[in-house]
């Protein structure tokens, strides 16, 4: 049983974080920030001078909505980024199709599902896979290959009745390693909890995922980047681990103590302005600012309150 006082404290933290995200909204409606300054491989390759603004905004909308708010300007910004072929890019300055951004957009904006979901179906690959980014240039596919996290995002947006779901779930079952969890992608998110926070809900046997998540927490109650997670905890892996706990154990029958410690770690990390820091970060992580980390933490805290 989680105390009511804890739930109220977590909810207040989520509301403060949502206010920070709303204050981060730009004149365009995008909720974003510059990600320059990282040595990460994606920043080096693509020079995201003004951030992955579409990706940031759809995640911020998911967070703001989880806290009971919305932003008409942010919704309009995302709507304006929808490609004529359907789907969303991750960055307004690079108009290819991003499967993860498209899926997150479909979850954040149900009114766009008739445009976004067909794009997910159209670009499905064999054996339950999706490529994360598809260029509007000759050659078509980016070098960033398929991964369980991309499939997990697509399945979350498609819904359980879609004919592609069974094959996608089989792919997720088959890509778990000997520990029963999905490996980290070292060049981008650098934590097994990025795929796990969505993929765990798509597989029938989650006991190994739950056990790994609980057992790999640091003494502080949070999780660090790396695989296995380092002890120097950070906002993003901690928030994704908390979401993984909720996906594995929605009633918190087993995960309650670990979830409480994770939420308390996030509260201690929250700044006075409501934001959450992304640091400490490994060098290949390109989300160096606070908007994305704050969005993920807000969703995690709000969902924990709902579950409790």
pTM over 0.75: yes
50-91: pLDDT as tens digits: 668 999 999 999 999 999 999 999 999 999 999 998 999 988
In angstroms, rounded to a whole number, what is the distance separating the alpha carbons of residues 308 and 294?
Answer: 21
The chain-wide mean pLDDT, for the chain, equals 91
In angstroms, rounded to a whole number, what is the distance separating the alpha carbons of residues 80 and 92?
Answer: 10
Q: What is the DSSP string of the chain?
A: ---HHHHHHHHHHHHHHHHHHHHTB-TTS-B----TT---HHHHHH--TT--HHHHHHHHHHHHHHTT---HHHHHHHHHH--TTSS--SBTTB-SEEHHHHHHHHHH-GGGHHHHHHHHHHTPBGGGB--SEE-SSTT-B-SS---HHHHHHHHHHH-TTSTTHHHHHHHHHHT--TTSSPPP-TTTT-STHHHHHHHGGGSS--HHHHHHHHHT--TTS---STTTTPSS--HHHHHHHHHHHHHH-TT-TTTHHHHHHHHHHHHHH--TTS-----S--TT----SSHHHHHHHHHHHHHHHHH-
149-206: pLDDT as tens digits: 999 999 999 998 999 999 999 999 999 999 999 999 876 789 999 999 999 999 999 9
206-259: pLDDT as tens digits: 999 999 999 999 999 999 999 999 999 999 999 999 999 999 999 999 999 999
Which tokens in the block code for residue 176?
Answer: 């778990």
What is 4-307's CATH number? 1.50.10.20
pLDDT of amino acid 45: 47
In angstroms, rounded to a whole number, what is the distance separating the alpha carbons of residues 10 and 15?
Answer: 9
**If pLDDT is split at 50, 70 and 90, which confidence band does 2 have?**
low
**If pLDDT is split at 50, 70 and 90, which confidence band does 35 have?**
low
In angstroms, rounded to a whole number, what is the distance separating the alpha carbons of residues 178 and 304?
Answer: 29
**If pLDDT is split at 50, 70 and 90, which confidence band does 37 have?**
very low
């Amino acid at each position: 049983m989680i105390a009511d006082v804890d739930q109220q404290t977590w909810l207040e933290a989520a509301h403060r974080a949502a206010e920070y995200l709303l204050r981060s909204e730009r004149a365009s409606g995008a909720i974003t920030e510059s990600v320059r300054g990282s040595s990460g491989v994606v920043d080096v390759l693509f020079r995201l001078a003004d951030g992955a603004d579409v990706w940031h905004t759809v995640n911020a909308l998911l967070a703001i909505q989880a806290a009971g708010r919305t932003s008409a300007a942010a919704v309009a910004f995302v709507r304006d980024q929808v490609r004529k072929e359907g789907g969303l890019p991750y960055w307004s300055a690079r108009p290819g199709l991003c499967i993860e951004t498209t899926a997150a957009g479909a979850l954040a904006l149900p009114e766009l599902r008739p445009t976004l979901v067909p794009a997910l179906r159209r670009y499905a690959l064999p054996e339950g896979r999706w490529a994360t980014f598809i260029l509007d240039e000759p050659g078509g596919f980016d070098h960033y290959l398929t991964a369980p996290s991309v499939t997990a995002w697509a399945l979350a947006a498609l819904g359980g009745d879609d004919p592609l779901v069974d094959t996608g779930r089989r792919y997720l079952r088959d890509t778990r390693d000997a520990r029963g969890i999905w490996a980290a992608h070292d060049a981008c998110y650098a934590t097994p909890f990025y795929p796990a926070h969505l993929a765990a809900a798509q597989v029938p046997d989650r006991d190994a995922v739950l056990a790994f998540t609980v057992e790999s927490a640091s003494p502080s109650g949070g999780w660090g980047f790396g695989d296995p997670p380092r002890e120097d905890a950070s906002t993003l892996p901690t928030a994704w681990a908390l979401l993984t706990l909720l996906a594995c154990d929605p009633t918190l029958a087993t995960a309650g103590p670990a979830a409480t410690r994770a939420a308390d770690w996030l509260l201690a990390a929250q700044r006075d302005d409501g934001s959450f820091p992304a640091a400490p970060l490994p060098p290949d992580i390109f989300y160096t600012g606070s908007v994305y980390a704050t969005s993920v933490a807000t969703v995690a805290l709000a969902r924990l309150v709902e579950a409790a």
